[in-house]
Amino acid sequence: MGAGILFLGYGVICLAIGAGVDGVLEKARDRFSGNDTNALVAMMNSSDIPLKDRNLAIWALGQLGDTRAAASLEKLLTGKPCEHASAVCQRELKKAIRHCRGGANVTRWAWKPFVL
């Protein structure tokens, strides 16, 4: 029974992440053209977008794990500690780059086919 609850919880988390990515994609598609990755990269780089939403775009790019996004993500790395009040999250950037470079993402398989 315990394993079943864990499996169910894992499934719910996977679907929630997928729904979160889909929500960020909707925002990006409403404002920017191109495929999903291009729209998210444009959102991430736009100074007209609130910092919170730019960070969400970085997170979504990492969840998608598209190798085409890695170079754009890397351009935002500063090598400095996070300054959340004035710059995109460096920790989230590093995670997104790792996922786009083929790093393990244990939830993507469950929702990615439904998003793209």
- Binning pLDDT at 50, 70 and 90, where does residue 7 land? confident
Q: Identify the band that residue 115 occupies on the pLDDT scale cut at 50, 70 and 90.
A: very low
> How would residue 8 be classed by pLDDT, with cut points 50, 70 and 90?
confident
The CA distances from residue 4 to 9, 88, 94, 111, 113, in Å, are: 8, 38, 33, 20, 24
User: What is the value of pTM for the model shown?
Assistant: 0.88
Residue 100 near residue 66 (C-beta atoms within 8 A): yes
